[in-house]
Chains A and B, each alone.
Chain A
Amino acid sequence: MKIHEYQAKELFKQYGIKVPNSKLCERREDIETILKTMKMPCVIKAQVHSGARGKAGGVKLAANYEEAVKVADSILGMELKSKQAGLKKVNKILIEEGIDIEKELYLSLTFDRANESIAMIVSTQGGMDIEEVAKNSPEKIYTQQIGNDFNPIKIIEKMGFNEDISEKIANIVKKLYKLTIEKDALLVEINPLVITKQNEVIAIDAKINFDDNALFRHEEILLLKDESEENPLELQAQKEGLNYIKLDGTIGCMVNGAGLAMATMDVIRIAGKEAANFLDVGGGAGSEKIEKAFRLLISDKNIEAVFINIFGGILRCDFLAEGVKNAIQNLNINVAVIVRMEGTNKEIGAKILNDSGLKFTVVKDLNEAIEVIRKI
C-alpha cells in the first residue's frame, strides 16, 4: 500500500526525523490564508501517488507570496499524469517552507528480495532518479544489508562527511529502520535528504510503501489509504475479495490461481489479442462470488469477449457454471463467452451450461481456446 508524501512526513515526525515546516491545502479558498502564515520562498507539491511529480509539473518553487498564490492555484485541481491511475486530478497540495540546501543525498531502506533482508541504499546523488544513478554511476551508490551487527556510520563515513553530519545521517537511518520494522514498510525512501547550510539534515521528500499482507496489524496505516488513487474497478474487486487488475486489452478473462491467470493472459496474446484484465477468483470461490466476478469483468466497456479458464481443484466446476449462468441471465450480455473447465465436477458444470439455453463456446483445452479467440 502506498501513502502520500504528507502522510509519510507525519510518520517521519513521529519517529523524530526532521522535515521542513509545511501545511496541507485541500481547498482553493484556503490557499491565501495558509500562505500568509508561511515563510517564503516555498515549495508547492501535488499530493498524488506518482513518481516524477516534478517532471509532470506537480512540484514548483515560489519566491514570494504573490507567486506562491499563483502556483498553488495552478497545481491544486490540475490533471497530473500518474502511473497508478492514469490522468489524475490533484486534490491536495503540500505547501512547504524553503530550505537552504548545501547538499542533496539519497537514502532508502528497502526489502531486498535477492538477499531476503532489509537493505540500506545511500548515495551522494540525491534528488535524481536512483535507477538512473545506478545505471550511469553505480560507484556513487552504497548498499548495505542490515543484519544484527549493522552500524550505518561505517558506510556513511566512507562517503566523506564530517563526524557531525555522519552522526546525524546515521541517526536518521536508525529511526528509519525502527519505522520499517514497526510499520511493516517494504520501502522507506528519502530523495532528497538534504544537508542544509546550517548543518542540519532534513528529509525534503518522503515515500513509504507498506506490506499489504501486514495491514491487519496496522489500523493506523490503513486509515491513510486514499481510495481516489485507485482504479475504481480494482477498488470494487478488493472489496469483494477478488484479485483483479485492469489492463488495456479487449478479452476479459476469469481464472482461478495467479499463475494460471498470467498464463491465460499469455494464451490470449498468442491468439493475437490482449487481455482486458487479470482476474484470479481464488481457490474456494462459490457460485455467488463467480457471479460477482463476472459482473465486474463485463463492466469494463472495452471487452469484446470473455474467456473463462478454470482448473477446478478446490473450486468446483458446477459452482463456476452456476455463477456464470446466473450472471449472464441477469445481465443480458451480448459478448461472446468462451469457457474452458477442467477438474472437479466438470461434467456437471458442462451440463449446467449446455442446459441453460445460453450461448457459450465450450473448449476442451488451451489450444482450442487459442483457435476460438483468434477468430473473434
Chain B
Amino acid sequence: MSIFINKKTRLIVQGITGKEGSFHARSCQEYGTQLVGGVTPKKGGEEILGVPVFNSVKEAINEVQADTSMIFVPARFAAGAIIEAAEAGIKLIVCITEGIPIYDMMNAKKAVQLNGARLIGPNCPGLITPNEAKVGIMPSNIHKKGNVGVISRSGTLTYEAVYQLTQLGIGQSTCIGIGGDPIIGTNFIDVLREFQMDSETKAICMIGEIGGSAEEEAAEYIKNNITKPVVSFIAGLSAPEGKRMGHAGAIIAGGKGTASSKMEALTSCNVTVCRNPANLGITIKNIIDKM
C-alpha cells in the first residue's frame, strides 16, 4: 500500500504542451506513472509523449478515464484550472504552479471541497510513491521504496531529507510536498491521517517551516491520533520577524508562527524534533533501528 497514488493512478497533465509541463510529464512517465493524456485548451487532437492532448479535463475523463491531474498552468490561470479539474470529476489534483493570488485560491479551494476532490498544493513539488508512481517534479533517483512517510511544506528541503534517508538505506512509502502557500488543499493533518492508516508506513518524517499554525495543529493531532513515531524539522529558526522567506506562507507576523514555538508544540506532543537539518536522516534511522 501507499497513499494517494500508486500503479493504478491514471494521470493527465494540465498545461502538458508547455515547456515545464512536458518536461515533467515525461519524467513522471519515465518513472512508470500511467500518463494517459494532457490538457491544453485549443490544442485538442494533438499528441505528445505518445498520449493524446484534450481541450478540456472533462474530455480527458471521458476519453481516457483520467482520475488524477497535475497542473502546470501559469499562475494567473491556475486557479481556474483547479476549478475545472474539480468540477469535471478529477479525484486527485496536484497543483505545482507557484504564485497564485490568494483570493483566487480561496475560490478554488471551495470548488475542490464542493466537488469532493483532493487538492495537493499549490506551489508544491507534488508526490511520489517509490517504484509505483510519481506525480511531481522531484528528482526520481533519490527515492527508495520503504516504510517512512515524508510530508513537507517545502520542495528542495524534502529532497534533502529523502536523500539523507536513502543514503542510510532507509526507503519511503510516499513522499508529499504539501506546498508553501497560505492556502493549500491538503494539510499536515490530512496526510498524517493517511499515513496512520497506511500499513506500509512505519514512521513519519514531517518537515515544517515558519508561518501560520499548521505545525501546532498537527502536533495536537499527532498527540491524539498518531501511534507511529514522528520525527520533525522546522526550517527558519534563524529567520527574522516580518520578512517573507520566499514562500508566501513563510512569515513570522505579530510574534506568531516562529520556529521555536512550533518546535515546542511538537516536542510537547511526543514528536522527536530534530534541530539540525543535517541530522534528519540519522535521527529517523535511530528510531527505526529500535523498532
Contacts and interface: CB of A to CB of B under 8 A. Distances in A.
Chain A bound to chain B: yes
Given A131-B254, A311-B156, A366-B277, A269 B103 contact: no
A313 B101 contact: no
The majority secondary structure among interface residues of chain A is: mixed
Contacts of B125: 313
A211 B277 CA distance: 31
Interface in B131-168: 137-139, 142, 152-160, 163-164
A118 B160 CA distance: 36
Contacts, number: 158
A270 interface: yes
Contacts of A311: 156, 159-160, 163
B169 interface: no
- Which of A83, A184, A343 has most B Cβ within 10 Å? A343
B233 A211 contact: no
A158 interface: no
Contact of B278 (A181, A212, A365): A365
A184 B107 CA distance: 13
Given A258-B247, A313-B139, A247 B240 contact: yes
B: contact size bracket: 35 or more
A259 B102 contact: no
Nearest to A256: B156
A133 to B, nearest CB: 12
A265 B154 contact: no
12 contacts: A83-B242, A213-B101, A214-B101, A258-B209, A259-B154, A259-B155, A259-B246, A261-B245, A262-B239, A265-B239, A274-B238, A311-B159
B159 A263 contact: no
Interface in B33-80: 75-76
Interface string A348-376: 00000000000000000111011000000
B238 A217 contact: no
Given A213-B101, A274-B238, A259 B152 contact: yes
Contacts of B106: 116-117
Given A116-B183, A263-B277, A258 B250 contact: yes
The 6 closest A-B pairs by CB, nearest first: A259-B154, A258-B246, A257-B156, A366-B278, A259-B157, A214-B101
Contacts of A342: 159-160, 163
Given A214-B102, A259-B180, A265 B238 contact: yes
B262 to A, nearest CB: 13
Interface of B: 20, 75-76, 99-104, 106, 109, 125, 137-139, 142, 152-160, 163-164, 180, 182-183, 207, 209-210, 212-213, 233, 235-240, 242-250, 254, 259, 275-279
Given A113-B212, A263-B277, A278 B254 contact: no
Interface in A263-282: 263, 265-270, 274-275, 278, 280
Given A245-B243, A245-B245, A265-B238, A260 B276 contact: no
Contacts of A216: 75-76
B233 A263 contact: yes
A: contact size bracket: 35 or more
Contacts of A331: none
Contacts of B243: 245, 247, 278
A323 B220 CA distance: 45
A247 B244 CA distance: 12
Contacts of A83: 242
Contacts of B156: 255-257, 259-260, 311, 313
A296 to B, nearest CB: 15
A77 B246 CA distance: 33
A280 B245 CA distance: 9
A243 interface: yes
A255 B160 CA distance: 12
Nearest to A216: B76
B190 to A, nearest CB: 14
B245 A111 contact: no
